[in-house]
Structure 1
């Protein structure tokens, strides 16, 4: 359940009880070759999660040779899945990348004090 916004290639996903909740990023097509995937575990009302989402949105909107336009971000509401809630209830926001084998790898926590440019560089480094 997503609706694309063409200006920034952002979409919104219905994460909880059929309502649209959180932004998720670019390139929703699963058939796009060389698409890199990030997963953000979050929940409604989490100010740290909201802050990270804003920083990620800004990092995804940066252009240039180091842009993240081939990265897809999926935001997962942990309150919709008991396994996610048990695993991440005290850790959110949790950012993970999906490896080529489909397994998730948890990334180091990004400080909300980091600049958008530094977040972009850290995300690029995570895929290197």
Structure 2
């Protein structure tokens, strides 16, 4: 249940980003849900690979290159989806930072409202 609520709230955060006129557009809430899903998949599977491949640059820039990796994931989601558009790299950078901040706020709020995640435990006999 917590995952679905988080997904819906992240989609709402994407719609909020479109209202600030920073070069990001989403046509409908359904499109925002797909965009949040694709961004989540990219962050789960592609982002770790990019982090490993760009580790020397990340170390050299004291971790600031991770902002570039996040912006690339955000912009790549815009390329994959027709109804989610990101105008350019700087807009993707700003959008990814704001989206990440909203994600942290959502995570903290859900943690307080729904409690911490419990590890999977086998059923008792």
Category of TM-score, reference length = shorter chain: under 0.3
Tell me which protein shows more helix as a share of its residues.
Answer: 2
Higher relative contact order (CA 8 A, sep 6+): 2
Tell me which protein shows more strand as a share of its residues.
Answer: 1
Structure with greater Cα Rg:
2
